Structure 1
């Protein structure tokens, strides 16, 4: 017997549900997908009718996925992932004419995105001399400005490296990370008895966090300053201190994650943007192809699982 395809279950409907589950807002979903708000509502109504269950609780703000919706969301994401993979395969990377490429990628992606990105690029560049380096964003920016690298994937600074074009990949919001069980009911004032774990001030993150603290009128004592994400995560999990980090960085906490609680950043929302910088002589199809692949891998390994763990981030944590 052939499988039954439910009337009313459409690809667009699945995309709308996936996005609404992430954003919690019809207006934000409409903006993300380039639709009108009534069209989003109609797609959700059609999908719920076809399945015979309510997928979201529209009485809450932001909207939340119902228990039945959570079960279906897993299947919807699997279906969309398979369809997107098929589309990607049909539009395979066409880099066969390249003779050389040097690419830098931030350390944040070293375990998940970079190995897969390198594998795909190597497969597509059979005759190409390929150089791949990892490092901190400020180091990679300096290297592409000096024309030592052709392209870099890193956090954007206040000013793009000279002679480059920028392709945005990810909005990565800053969040508060505290030891499990520590209250933040009074915002940053709740943490006055714990040391602040600073990022290295040479890093883009360190500079942006310091600017936020200055605007918030906060001047935590300079006791700890580190350039290692894992060391900071370990100290937070051990109850030694608290920090300001990003959703992407927290997703890399690994075995320390169970001892860390994440909360929205008090006051103004703030995010860093991850971009692909390419030297101006590379403008055109190749940077676009590489950035499309990077977006796909970032979504699969970071934004999708990250939003399942921190749904309150909504559209702040998103592939661009």
Structure 2
């Protein structure tokens, strides 16, 4: 099998019409180019060049092989152009994984910034729960994934590289006319007599509620099991009970509920939002760019002014 680099050199000889010019174009001496052509002829098993007093002439076999070399050169240049386009983020696809809360808060802003900056790169998002997101990362179905963890449920996987984006504190959701709004902050121990709206199907936030109440010395009285945060807010607004929720889950807050921070007597658990990618695999330019954007968006969501806006106005009477 002829060496591809020598075939490319033969294409240069055919293009320039002499070994000397081909050698100069290829960054080698004429002697080295002549040796490479002799080796190529040995590999081909037949003459490829006829050396004339003034220049060279290709044999039929040499001309055919030189044309293949030109085709290879075009393909290599096209391949380099593809790589350059991916590096500039002019093309390609970024595959992301996310969970519902992040998809409703952090991710839309990040996607908007990314698409404005890199309109040539297509982005896909797979939304799933934690276990499935981990599978997506391991199988390569996504390059990056937004994950979450609590102290008692850590993401511990040596096959993943984890970046902590922000802390997402738990807040209390109450009706807009609740008497609890008279207080600057609410003690969890003072809520023992309240009815609670809880997330159904063993949702992690249901575990947060039960753990928090038990630390405060009581078992919560469950009035309703909701299947999403909008439903939970609606039941709180209707006066059926109060609820716990991560702050990010309430980015789209109803105007008839309020969010109240907890006091320090029994601190409500804080959820950590993580960005994960496979360990040991160099991120693509698109993944690296999205990582930077997500970190900037997370920093914006951590700003005190935004937190106050999300908590809403605390009314006193």
Contact 2:143-2:278 within 8 A present in 1 as well: yes
Tell me, in whole angstroms, the C-alpha distance in 1 between the residues paired with 2:137 and 2:227: 21
By how many angstroms is 1:168 displaced?
0.9
Deviates more, 1:110-119 or 1:221-230: 110-119
* Residues 200-219 of structure 1 deviation map (CA, whole Å, 9 limit, x = unaligned): 45444333443333333332
Q: Which residue of 1 aligns with 2:75?
A: none
Contact 2:173-2:258 within 8 A present in 1 as well: yes
* Residues 168-192 of structure 1 deviation map (CA, whole Å, 9 limit, x = unaligned): 1111111222223233878345434
- 2:195 aligned counterpart, secondary structure: coil
Of structures 1 and 2, the larger Rg is shown by: 2
Which of 160, 168, 172 is equivalent to 2:168? 172
The alignment of Structure 1 onto Structure 2 pairs a total of residues equal to: 218
Contact 2:166-2:274 within 8 A present in 1 as well: yes
Q: Which residue of 2 aligns with 1:154?
A: 147
Contact 1:181-1:261 within 8 A present in 2 as well: no
Tell me, in whole angstroms, the C-alpha distance in 2 between the residues paired with 1:148 and 1:162: 18
Contact 2:212-2:266 within 8 A present in 1 as well: no
Tell me, in whole angstroms, the C-alpha distance in 1 between the residues paired with 2:205 and 2:289: 27
Q: Which residue of 1 aligns with 2:217?
A: 217
Contact 1:205-1:272 within 8 A present in 2 as well: no
User: How do residues 204-243 of structure 1 correspond to structure 2 at under 5 angstroms?
Assistant: 204-243=204-243
By how many angstroms is 1:241 displaced?
0.7
- 1:264 aligned counterpart, secondary structure: coil
Q: Which residue of 2 aligns with 1:89?
A: none
Structure 2 segments unaligned to the other structure (5+ residues): 1-85, 313-317
Contact 1:95-1:124 within 8 A present in 2 as well: no
Q: Which residue of 1 aligns with 2:261?
A: 263
By how many angstroms is 1:138 displaced?
4.8
Residues 311, 221 of structure 1: alpha-carbon distance in 2 compared, 3 angstrom cutoff = closer
Deviates more, 1:172-181 or 1:297-306: 297-306
- 1:196 aligned counterpart, secondary structure: strand
Q: Which residue of 2 aligns with 1:108?
A: 101
Contact 2:94-2:124 within 8 A present in 1 as well: yes
- 2:133 aligned counterpart, secondary structure: helix
Question: RMSD of aligned C-alpha atoms?
Answer: 3.6
Q: Which residue of 2 aligns with 1:25?
A: none
Residues 172, 94 of structure 1: alpha-carbon distance in 2 compared, 3 angstrom cutoff = farther
Tell me, in whole angstroms, the C-alpha distance in 2 between the residues paired with 1:233 and 1:108: 14
- 2:89 aligned counterpart, secondary structure: coil
User: How do residues 1-320 of structure 1 correspond to structure 2 at under 5 angstroms?
Assistant: 96=89, 99-111=92-104, 113-122=106-115, 130-156=123-149, 157-161=153-157, 163-179=159-175, 180-183=177-180, 187-200=187-200, 202-253=202-253, 256-265=254-263, 266-283=265-282, 286=285, 287-300=287-300, 303=303, 305-309=305-309
Tell me, in whole angstroms, the C-alpha distance in 2 between the residues paired with 1:243 and 1:270: 14
Runs of 4+ in 1 over 6 A off after TM superposition: none
What TM-score results when the alignment is normalised by the length of structure 2? Answer: 0.56
By how many angstroms is 1:244 displaced?
1.4
By how many angstroms is 1:248 displaced?
1.8
